[in-house]
Amino acid sequence: DVKVTQSSRYLVKRTGEKVFLECVQDMDHENMFWYRQDPGLGLRLIYFSYDVKMKEKGDIPEGYSVSREKKERFSLILESASTNQTSMYLCASSRGPAKNIQYFGAGTRLSVL
């Protein structure tokens, strides 16, 4: 089975802190994605990566950056966390062409106080 692991299920941070959300997949997938999910807004794509060291902006990249130094790991970075970044963050990965099925992690619920 494909496994996508997000390092934390719950995280509480202070405004202005630098926050790292980590995601690891164990199936040698080329593509990895970061989404946030908010009530009434659904899932929105923040960033995605289709290869090591490659990244593409999604629909809402402002206030976020990403890092993909190794194929299996995709990190989402909040340079200076703000309260409007309180959300559920979901990581996903897929094999080969990005059009294939995406497999999701369990999510990280981030609260910024």
Partner 1 sequence: KQEVTQIPAALSVPEGENLVLNCSFTDSAIYNLQWFRQDPGKGLTSLLLIQSSQREQTSGRLNASLDKSSGRSTLYIAASQPGDSATYLCAVGPMGGGSNYKLTFGKGTLLTVNP
Catalog residues that contact partner 1 under the rule CB under 8 A. Answer: 4, 40-43, 45, 48, 50, 56, 58-59, 90, 92, 97-107, 109
* Beta carbon of residue 94, minimum distance to partner 1 (angstroms, whole number): 9
Contact 107, 21 (CB under 8 A): no
Considering the complex, state which of residue 2 and residue 77 has its C-beta at the smaller distance from partner 1. Answer: 2
Give the three-state DSSP class for 94.
strand
What is the rounded CA–CA span in Å between residue 15 and residue 9?
19
Nearer to partner 1, 16 or 98 (CB): 98
- For the chain, the straight-line distance linking the first and the last C-alpha, in angstroms and rounded, comes to 37
CB of 5 to partner 1, least distance (A): 10
